[in-house]
Amino acid sequence: MGCCLCADHNCDLAAVMEMGAIELDSFVTITFENTLYHSPYFVAIDDRTRCIVIAVRGTLSLDDTIVDLLYDGVRLEEIETFVARQTGTTPTFVGHRGMVGSARRLYQRLLADGVIETARAQRPGYSLVVCGHSLGAGIASFLTLLLRPIYPEVKGYALSAPLGMMNAELAEYTKPFLVSIVYGFDAFARMNKATVMDFKWRLIDALSVCTVPKYRILSRGAELCLGRCFLRCCSPCCFPKNFADRTVGRDTFLLDQETQDRLINPNPELPRWDPVSARATPTEQGDAAEVVASGSGKFSPLCLRRHLFHHCLISTSSN
């Protein structure tokens, strides 16, 4: 970063060319700009398959993560109108808010820059293909939908697209022109609102159960990581012979057996009712119960921050 070799994303461009086996003159456009609702992408010509390819990068920055977490649904009115004109029936198409927003912004930029028409002028008769991985797969899916009224031959390939990014009616509609590909036990393809919320409640449950100061746990983890991954190889004489043979359970000597069992076998439902364990005050328990009873299924950021701050005060005072 900052050196002449890597200036202007030269290293990024070299990586794309190497991994994709793409010649420099095959690119119509490529951008590494990465902001909220704008993921890096490129448009290239593939003479081997006679395709014009639009490829969108997946999650690799904080802005990308924020887009991932904007998982509430949004209507795709423009696609609903297009389908209604074709079929005479009005569907209800709902998609992932962050990905739909990114796809709309990319769609507008592609049309404004005219790169697709430029590529079609260079290679008449080539078909249009949109692809992406992870977040890019979701953006590519909705971009395919947006491009279809103008380019009916467009095909989309979503590699490890997040789970539940569109409703069932929209998924059924996209079957003829959109292919979703999942490799093995890829975790990204199994992430959706439910799994993210479950992970959040498991974290809160762990915070409420563990009373050991967090700096002690983190320093212990750093010690073990350095010992196993680096120092053990460079300076084996500095560590006992059985250092690498310790199991995860033995590493957690800071915790009593009951806490270890609770962390290994969490009860993520408990924090939904009582986010600071049994030591919460009646007022806090009432707040949590009110949230659950309202059916929202989650705390507001301010409410959640207050509960966690209260727990940190309890943990600090008890240690």
Residues 165 and 310 in one domain: no
pLDDT of amino acid 230: 64
How many other C-beta atoms can be found within 10 angstroms of the C-beta atom of residue 108? 11
Is pLDDT above 70 for 1?
Answer: no
- Asked, for residue 29, whether it belongs to a domain, the answer is yes
Is pLDDT above 90 for 216?
Answer: no
What is residue 162's DSSP assignment?
A: P
- Residues known to be catalytic: 134, 186
Give, in degrees to the nearest 5, the angle at Cα 141 between 55 and 137.
55
**184-198, 250-264, 287-301: which range is least confident on average?**
287-301
- Asked, for residue 271, whether it belongs to a domain, the answer is yes
Any idea what the CATH number is for the domain that residue 23 is in? 3.40.50.1820
Question: What's the mean pLDDT when you consider all of the chain?
Answer: 77
SS3 27: strand
Q: 173 is in which domain, residue-wise? A: 7-190
- Give the total number of structural domains in the chain: 3
Residues 234 and 270 in one domain: no
Residues 40 and 153 in one domain: yes
Residues 6+ apart with CB under 8 A from 193: 71, 72, 164
Is pLDDT above 60 for 292?
Answer: no
Reported in sequence order, the residue ranges of 140-214 that DSSP labels E, i.e. its strands, are 155-159, 178-181
Is pLDDT above 50 for 207?
Answer: yes
pLDDT per residue as tens digits for the range 219-273: 877 777 776 666 556 655 655 555 545 444 444 567 777 777 777 777 766 555 4
Residues 184 and 68 in one domain: yes
Q: Which residue has the higher pLDDT, 61 or 1?
A: 61
Q: Which residue has the higher pLDDT, 15 or 100?
A: 100
Q: Which residue has the higher pLDDT, 197 or 58?
A: 58
Reported in sequence order, the residue ranges of 185-311 that DSSP labels E, i.e. its strands, are none
